[in-house]
A and B are shown apart, each in its own frame.
Chain A
Amino acid sequence: MPRREFDPGGGGAAPWVFLAPLIAFAAVFFVIPLGFSIWLSFTRWNPLGTPSWVGLRQFEYLFTRDGDFWRSILNTFVFAFGFVALGVPLSLGLAFVFSRARGKTLWRSVYYLPQLTNIVAIAYLWQFVLDDRYGAINRLLGMVGLAGPNWLSDPAMAMVSVVLVMIWYDAGKNMLVFSAALEGVDREIYDAAALDGASPLRTLTSVTLPIIRPAFIFVTITSFITGMGFFALILAMTGGGPRGATEVTALYTYQMAFESLRMGRASAGALILFAIIGVLSILQFRALRGRE
């Protein structure tokens, strides 16, 4: 009997049945919300009343009159940039040592611990540790005669603190992504490089880094997107304070919506932030890819 070719189109209605939940979900929780969000951004709406169409006024207000909004965009950049610029190299460095260490199970468990912890606990744990006067860190610094900074009550330090905690939270995950990439590299390549007399530095720049570039691009862009839109940690840790110093845009729009009940303006703000993230992610992706 001649072997029949496999017919991937032979499922009849089955694929559509399998996809039904996804399609329903995509409609109700993806397409409609996006459309609704865009529509809302052209309205003024206190949801205890009815929405009224205001055209581009919300965007106009945010762009031209709302200084706090611009400040929040700036804070968002500082947060995301600090997170990427410090966090990515750090987890790459950790991955180098981790991938060459014994006892991986133990190290992995320890470094992955923050990822398992809910963000409220993370925020509060660090509030305790960073307490100006009686937190563990400033007590430790005090023991060696240093006056620690006011980690959470000084505006500039508060931003540093939330960035550091965010890095602490994510370092383990990115370290594992990088080490997976590093371990994917054949040892023969290194042996070959060594035989050719390549210096360690040269091996690093010419062999290792190009090979992990995809992982590097992945981690950098996802970290950037995460950093730009993540506000749970800041909400629980500083509430955007002190004096608005850690108020990032996603948090600002959240509070605008659910504290001040300005749904229209909040939607407009969220869309602006999303547009910024989208454009920058694409640029970043192009730039990182382009050097290949």
Chain B
Amino acid sequence: MTAVDRTGAPARGAPLRIAVAPRWRRAIGPLVKYALLSLGALLMILPFADMFIGALRSPADVFASPPRYWPQDPQWGVYARVFRELPMTTWFANSIIVTVTITAAQVATSTMAGYALAKYEFGGRAAIFRLVVGAQMFPFFLFIIPIFFILRFAPLMGGNDIAGQGGSGLLGTYAALCLPFVVTWYGVFLMRQFFVSIPDDLLEAARLDGAGEYRIFRSIMLPLVKPAIATLTLFSFVYHWNEFIWTMTVTRAAPELQTLPVGIYLLQGAFEDLDQKALQQAALAVSILPVIVVFLCLQRLFVASEFSSGVK
């Protein structure tokens, strides 16, 4: 898991042939190939299709004996019910606030740190880079308990005294949802790799022109790594829109801070009756849709290089 040379992003497009095959195999090969891909694709889509169908079932469908799979009288109104009967707008707003904040923070911290690690020499650089690479290996479950209490006992926050006692600290604020994610080791690593590939001459020329260090970073360097920023944005957005365990842990008892996945999960008690299942499935559909839309819009950014990052 060493560095990747960003400039050597592999070309994609032309289909590969692994070897010259006999004629009959050349005819059957594509058939098998597309059959396999289609079968896989069908499996990929099946649960989503099942969800959309399920969302349309009426109580009459689920209370039939045996229950009907295909809705007899599709209940399109269920999507309006989702917004009327569930705190969907709160969840939605929280998802957006948290995801946008974290994504913005991660892009800022990753570009800054990545740039410093790539373009400056200073004592301790190697150590910090090792930390960035090494910290990625630490699984998140290790941090849940300690970070929970670090936020809980944050001095002078949320009614706490200087020793962190007396109040509830940062728990119960948006900060508890965002702060543990403002830096992403992976993002710093990714940006550092990108900045390394930018020639030093540019920096040098700018310095000669008398540009200050911060101005060079903002006006010259940042525009050059736009593709990397876009990639990081997309990854951060998807990851944090979908983040579940941490948000659930700190907002379990604070409905006004819950995001879409967390809200739907914690309201499971409301969906136990059979005639509530359709509402649950519709809510799930609504929780998934925004990410899919963002992905389809930005899909072109998903070039091969992202998936090979850290590989070679």
- A residues neighboring B (CB under 8 Å): 4, 6, 8-12, 14-19, 21-23, 25-26, 28-30, 32-34, 36-37, 40, 47, 94, 96-102, 104-105, 107-122, 124-126, 128-129, 133-134, 136, 139, 168, 171-173, 176-177, 179-185, 187, 190, 193-194, 198-200, 203-204, 208, 214-215, 217-218, 221, 225, 228-229, 231-232, 235-236, 250, 253-254, 257-258, 263, 266-267, 270-271, 273-274, 277-278, 281
Contact = CB atoms under 8 A, between A and B. Distances in A.
Nearest to A21: B109
A251 B177 CA distance: 20
10 contacts: A18-B217, A37-B142, A47-B149, A111-B40, A116-B295, A118-B287, A119-B242, A120-B287, A121-B284, A235-B245
The size class of the interface chain B forms with chain A is 35 or more
A159 B283 CA distance: 27
B69 A37 contact: no
Given A102-B15, A115-B238, A22 B44 contact: no
Nearest to B183: A25
B120 interface: yes
B137 A225 contact: yes
A40 B145 CA distance: 9
A232 to B, nearest CB: 5
B228 interface: no
B145 A119 contact: no
Nearest to B40: A94
Interface of B: 1, 10-12, 14-21, 33-34, 36-37, 40-41, 43-48, 50-51, 54, 66-67, 69, 108-109, 112-113, 115-117, 119-122, 125, 128, 131-132, 135, 137-147, 149-150, 179-180, 182-183, 188, 200-201, 203-204, 207-208, 213-214, 217, 238, 241-242, 244-245, 249, 260-262, 264-265, 277, 280-281, 284, 287-288, 291-292, 295-296, 299, 302, 304-305, 307-308, 310-312
Across chains A and B, which 4 residue pairs bring their CB atoms closest together, nearest first? A33-B146, A229-B139, A184-B10, A14-B213
B261 to A, nearest CB: 4
Given A118-B261, A228-B139, A254 B51 contact: no
Contacts of A109: 295-296, 299
A236 B265 CA distance: 7
Contacts of A100: 15-18, 33
Contact of A119 (B21, B146, B244): B244
A132 to B, nearest CB: 13
Given A97-B37, A100-B16, A273-B141, A110 B45 contact: yes
B311 A16 contact: no
Nearest to A29: B180
Contacts of B302: 108, 112
Given A100-B15, A100-B17, A190-B16, A126 B242 contact: no
Contacts of B119: 8, 11
Nearest to B200: A6
A128 B284 CA distance: 12
Given A110-B45, A134-B67, A128 B54 contact: yes
Contacts of A124: 264, 280-281, 284
Given A22-B113, A274-B142, A110 B41 contact: yes
A265 to B, nearest CB: 11
A204 B141 contact: no
Contact of A28 (B69, B150, B204, B241): B150
B141 A270 contact: yes
Contacts of A114: 44
B308 A98 contact: no
A25 B147 CA distance: 12
Nearest to B105: A21
Contacts of B288: 116-118, 121
